[in-house]
Structure 1
Amino acid sequence: MNRLLLIAALAVAVYFIFSPDFHTPGGHEATPSHAVSEARQGDSDAILENAFVHRIGSLQVSGQGTVVKLLPDDASGGRHQRFILRLASGHTLLVAHNIDLAARVESLQMGDTVAFYGEYEWNPKGGVIHWTHHDPQGRHAAGWIKHGGQIYQ
């Protein structure tokens, strides 16, 4: 049963990776391709919950949540803007947004809704979403954060 759930989660993740709805054409203005529908949000939350339960990492995902905590920037190595999102499922995630490669989300406040596309890495506190930016070398899927009608990548 667990193996079937894992296979199903991976199949959905592959769909999200190759779905044109989740790739950005560049630019910074939000477009419909950056929207996370309620149906996809439920799928996304289920994928993230499964990844957490089964300690799966390196998983490209999209989703959205509410900012529940703003953290200080991580300045070791590449600088990252950090904040915690609570998903509709109740699960929380740390978002580590590289501000050396993408613009800072300046107006971010607690209670704001943020959509994301990035890579999930497991940790015992709920997991981390990173790669929410473009890859200057083009070897990784371009991620993004959507907040207040703007895309940060």
Structure 2
Amino acid sequence: MMKNIITWLALVAAGFGLFHYQPWQNEAGTSPQSVAGEQARPSENGAAERILQQAFAERRSDIQIEGEGVVKKVLPDDNKGSRHQRFILRLNSGQTLLVAHNIDLADKITGLQPGDTVQFYGEYEWSKQGGVIHWTHRDPAGRHADGWLRHNGKVYQ
């Protein structure tokens, strides 16, 4: 019985945390990619980094998040199964994130180089290296929030 109560409380707390950890939403409750011409807001980048640091420390996953980082390393594409462009971003906090961008569903970022800034909106998954950002594309089935990447003013989704 106690285990069921603890599990229930944990689920309520997680749901509450995810509800309040949505810095990508504007006052109307829409994500930036749905508002014509709106850019990612750098003032929220610090909040996003704190959320990502906490998610890493607590080994949390399934967090929809918007942020920005500098490309540390461009990795070879993963061509097994669904193809993914892969690169590592370093956040201002020092945390690193692997970005796994599905290039079967979205255009690949061309000309990506270490030192480039990339903004992202996608889903965070915990890993011992810092985490992974995926779902950086539109969901053709419409069951998941549409994500995106922005590089040199161009949006990839």
Q: Report if TM-score (shorter chain) is over 0.5.
A: yes
Cα 1:88/1:8, change in 2 over 3 Å: farther
TM-score normalised by length of structure 1: 0.85
The DSSP-based 3-state class of the residue aligned with 2:41 is coil
Task: Within 5 Å, give how 1:104-115 maps onto structure 2.
Answer: 104-115=108-119
Q: Tell me which of the two structures has the higher relative contact order, counting C-alpha pairs closer than 8 angstroms and 6 or more residues apart.
A: 1
Rounded Cα–Cα distance in structure 1 between residues aligned with 2:14 and 2:53: 11
Rounded Cα–Cα distance in structure 1 between residues aligned with 2:56 and 2:119: 19
- Which stretch shifts more, 96-105 or 7-16? 7-16
Q: Percent identity?
A: 51
Cα 1:62/1:46, change in 2 over 3 Å: same
1:126-147 CA-to-partner distances (Å, cap 9, x unmatched) read 0000000000010000000000
Unaligned runs of 5+ in 2: 1-9
Please provide the CA RMSD for this pair: 2.2
Cα 1:8/1:111, change in 2 over 3 Å: farther
Greater Cα radius of gyration, structure 1 or 2: 2
The DSSP-based 3-state class of the residue aligned with 1:96 is strand
- Residue number in structure 2 paired with 1:24: 34
Whether the aligned pair in 2 keeps the contact of 1:73 and 1:79 (CA below 8 Å) is yes
The count of residues paired between Structure 1 and Structure 2 equals 144
Task: Within 5 Å, give how 1:61-100 maps onto structure 2.
Answer: 61-100=65-104
1:36 aligns with 2:46: no
Unaligned runs of 5+ in 1: none
TM-score normalised by length of structure 2: 0.83
Rounded Cα–Cα distance in structure 2 between residues aligned with 1:131 and 1:103: 13
- Which stretch shifts more, 110-119 or 8-17? 8-17
